[in-house]
Copies of this chain bind each other. A is one copy, B any other.
Amino acid sequence: MEEKDITNDEAKHEAGTEEANAAEEKPENDNNEVEAKDKQEETAKEAEEIAELKASLEKTTKEKEEFYERLLRLQAEFDNYKKRTLKEKQADQKYKAQELVTALLPVLDNFERALQVKATEETKSLLDGITMVYRQFLDALKEQGVSVIESVGKEFDPNFHHAVMQAEVEDKPSNTVIEELQKGYMLKDRVIRPAMVKVNK
């Protein structure tokens, strides 16, 4: 019995040891479970953080791309605006004299009419002086790009000539300007006033 007991005890002891071992392992197992639970929680937290970071990154990347696209669009708009205003400025510059030139054309007409008197001995010196002024006037306008439209003898061109009369002259070519009733003027490449003409049929 003793032996048995011992054996049993031993066995029991053994078993006890195993139990003790098992018991010793239990808290470890509990610890593991807690740790595992902690780790699981931690993992869940990390997964959540990763998901949040990914969402933030996606959002921020999208916003960044939007800003970049707006930047590109604004830059393109700016460039176009610069080009357009430069063109407008150049056109403004090119034709800036137009308003004054237009206002001066009746002065030129009257000037010419006033000079179409026959010079006498008494008026010759005055007429010469005034004719010089007229030429100087015309030169100043020419320097600003004003030119007289050619008409008499030229083929009728509706871009430059305004036909106010028609004639049938047999010894002159048809569709040709045979008389100028009022001078036409251009400012650079722009017709300011077409020449008023009589055209042969």
> Is A130 engaged at the interface, CB distance under 8 Å to the other chain?
yes
Residues of B with C-beta under 8 A to A132: 110, 114
Complexed CA–CA distance, A18 and B53 (Å): 49
- Interface bits A85-115 vs B (CB < 8 Å: 1, else 0): 1001100110011011101101100110110
Q: Is A114 within 8 A of B126, CB to CB?
A: yes
Chain B residues, CB < 8 A from A68: 67
For the complex, give the distance between the alpha carbons of A111 and B108 in Å: 13
Spot the interface stretch: A44-52, A153-161, A168-176, A190-198.
Answer: A44-52
- Which chain B positions have C-beta within 8 A of A99? 96-97, 144
Q: Answer yes or no: A188 CB below 8 A from chain B CBs.
A: no
Q: At the interface, yes or no: A75 with Cβ under 8 Å from chain B? A: yes
Contact A67 B57 (CB under 8 A): no
**How many interface residues does A have (CB within 8 Å)?**
75
**Residue of B with least CB distance to A42:** B43
* 7 nearest CB pairs, A to B: A11-B11, A18-B18, A4-B4, A122-B122, A64-B64, A67-B67, A96-B96
Can you pick out 19 interface pairs between chain A and chain B where the beta carbons lie within 8 Å of each other? A14-B18, A15-B18, A18-B22, A50-B50, A56-B57, A64-B67, A67-B71, A81-B81, A85-B89, A88-B89, A92-B93, A97-B97, A100-B101, A100-B140, A107-B133, A107-B137, A111-B137, A113-B129, A114-B132
